[in-house]
């Protein structure tokens, strides 16, 4: 380390002259940038190249790039607008679909209700008819039962009268007319 | 300092003026050809979905357009081709100067001064064309008490007149100082003994990276200041 530093120290004057040379090579005219005879050609070529550059940029290069960027912007704008429009259409279609669905559902409900109502009405009518029929049959049956009963009861009186006449004649030898027996029976019934 | 010397490659003369084709001229023409060739070649496809090279050209375009819009607004886009030319020209000249053994046109004060003077003259011309003598109000800032005016107005005038000098010296000094630094440290590598050579070599390598940044940054700063000066002229916002 120390050895390296001594070598460095020994070289220092040499470095100093290097720097001085690096900065001072052009001793005669100082900085080359300040050498006035060089100004004219530099200004001439600067003006020439810059004006040419400006013209080429303005007329050719920049419009081309600008056009492409502009076109891309337009294209994206158009695509976005189309997407927006399609989205609107989709939403409209969806709404129409949902409305149709709702209509169909309410239609179905009303049809179901109507069917149920009409079926109920029919069933009611049928039942009523059957009930009426049954009621009629019942009353007919009741009437015929009553008639049969009456007839039977009448027959019972008749048989009773005949029986009484036979019993009386057998027991008492009295001939009793049937009318007398009947009136006596009628009296006993009271 | 040899790297900054002007060498006459083809001596020419016009009306008694020296217009020799020098090494500086060579690099200016080279920059012109490279820029025009690149931008036109890159856009040959003109495709909506850009190729790599086309997207580089578009990025440069959008970058400068962004600077102009930010400082001058949409209306300022009419000066865009001019600002773009300044940016791409300085950037290319700075970058060409980074090639070892090449020549850095922007390390010459006369070139940077001519560019800065053009900016200043154009901006001042636009200012007077747009606002007439009202452009002089630029030197009377709003909201300054009247008794400060005798102090403020001369300061404003001086700072306005000094613009081309500050603009040109900034670019020239940065380019020249960077290249001189590189040269000095590279010469250490030659004179230092053995292992010690590594330090200036490493430093030079690192400093070269920094110089690329400076080359871009100075082109950017020159462009932004051009836009700011134009904005003073167009909108008179101070």
* ipTM exceeding cut-off 0.95 for this assembly: no
- Burial level of A77, CB count in 10 A (0-12/13-18/19+)? exposed
Count other Cβ atoms within 10 Å, centred on residue B176.
Answer: 22
B8 membership: H or E segment, kind and range: strand B8-10
Number of domains in chain B: 1
Domain, as residue range, for B127: 2-235
Q: Which of B7, B49, B32 is nearest to A68 (CA)?
A: B49
Q: Which residues contact A163 (CB under 8 A, 6 or more apart)?
A: none
Residue found under tokens 């939403």? A91
Does the CB of B48 have a partner CB in chain A at under 8 Å?
Answer: yes
Q: What pLDDT does B237 receive?
A: 63
pLDDT band (50, 70, 90) for residue A26:
very low
Contact criterion met (CB below 8 Å) for B6 and B23: yes
A6-21 average pLDDT score = 56
DSSP character at residue B17: E
pLDDT tens-digit series, residues B18-63: 778 888 888 899 989 999 888 888 777 777 777 788 888 888 888 9
Which residues have a Cβ under 8 Å from the Cβ of A38 and sit 6 or more positions away?
Answer: A32, B6, B22, B110
d(CA A55, CA B47) in angstroms, rounded, equals 24
A47 touching B (Cβ < 8 Å): yes
Residue B10 sits at φ, ψ, to 5 deg, of: -130, 105
Residue A9 near chain B (CB below 8 Å): no
Backbone φ and ψ of B6, nearest 5°: -85, 125
Question: Any chain B CB within 8 A of the CB of A58?
Answer: yes
Closest CA to B28 of B100, B101, B99, B103: B103
**Length reported for chain B:** 238
Contact criterion met (CB < 8 Å) for B115 and A66: no
Query: Domain coordinates of chain A in residue numbers?
Result: 41-189
User: CA B30, CA A6: separation in Å to the nearest integer?
Assistant: 49
Tokens of B136: 């002089």
- Distance from B141 to chain A by nearest Cα, in Å? 34
Nearest-neighbour CA in chain A from B128: distance (Å)? 23
- Taking only the tens place, the pLDDT of each residue in A28-83 is 457 877 777 778 888 888 888 999 989 988 888 788 888 888 888 888 999 999 99
């Amino acid at each position: 380390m120390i050895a390296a530093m001594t070598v460095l120290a020994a070289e220092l004057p040499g470095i100093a002259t290097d720097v001085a040379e690096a900065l001072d090579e052009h001793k005669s005219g100082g900085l080359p940038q300040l050498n006035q005879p060089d100004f004219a050609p530099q200004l001439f070529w600067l003006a020439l190249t810059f004006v040419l550059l400006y013209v080429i940029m303005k007329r050719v290069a920049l419009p081309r790039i600008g056009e492409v960027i502009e076109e891309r912007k337009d294209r994206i704008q158009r695509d976005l607008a189309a997407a927006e429009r399609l989205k609107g259409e989709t939403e409209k279609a969806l709404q129409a679909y949902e409305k149709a669905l709702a209509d169909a559902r309410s239609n179905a409900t009303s049809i179901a209700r109507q069917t149920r109502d009409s079926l109920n009405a029919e069933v009611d009518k049928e039942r009523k008819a059957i009930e009426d029929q049954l009621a009629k049959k019942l009353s007919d049956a009741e009437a015929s039962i009553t008639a049969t009963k009456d007839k039977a009861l009448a027959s019972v009186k008749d048989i009773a009268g005949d029986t009484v006449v036979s019993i009386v004649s057998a027991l008492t030898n009295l001939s009793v007319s049937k009318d007398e027996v009947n009136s006596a029976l009628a009296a006993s019934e009271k | 300092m040899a790297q900054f010397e002007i060498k006459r490659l083809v001596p020419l003369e016009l009306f008694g003026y020296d217009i020799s084709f020098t090494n500086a001229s060579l690099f200016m023409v080279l920059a012109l050809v490279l820029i025009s060739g690149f931008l036109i070649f890159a856009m040959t496809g003109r495709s909506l979905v850009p190729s790599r090279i086309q997207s580089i050209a578009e990025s440069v375009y959008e970058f400068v357009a962004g600077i102009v819009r930010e400082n001058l607004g949409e209306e300022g886009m009419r000066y865009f081709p001019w600002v773009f030319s300044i940016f791409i020209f300085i950037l290319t000249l700075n970058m060409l100067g980074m090639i070892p053994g090449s020549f850095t046109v922007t390390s010459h004060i006369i070139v940077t001064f001519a560019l800065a003077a053009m900016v200043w003259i154009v901006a001042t011309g636009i200012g007077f064309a747009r606002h007439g003598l009202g452009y002089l109000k630029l030197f009377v800032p709003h909201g300054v008490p009247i008794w400060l005016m005798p102090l403020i107005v001369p300061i404003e005038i001086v700072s306005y007149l000094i613009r081309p000098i500050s603009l040109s010296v900034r670019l020239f000094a940065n380019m020249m100082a960077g290249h001189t630094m590189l040269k000095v440290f590279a010469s250490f590598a030659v004179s230092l003994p053995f292992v010690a050579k590594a330090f200036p070599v490493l430093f030079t390598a690192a400093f070269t990276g920094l110089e690329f940044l400076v080359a871009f940054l100075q082109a950017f700063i020159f462009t932004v200041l051009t836009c700011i000066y134009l904005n003073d002229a167009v909108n008179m916002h101070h």
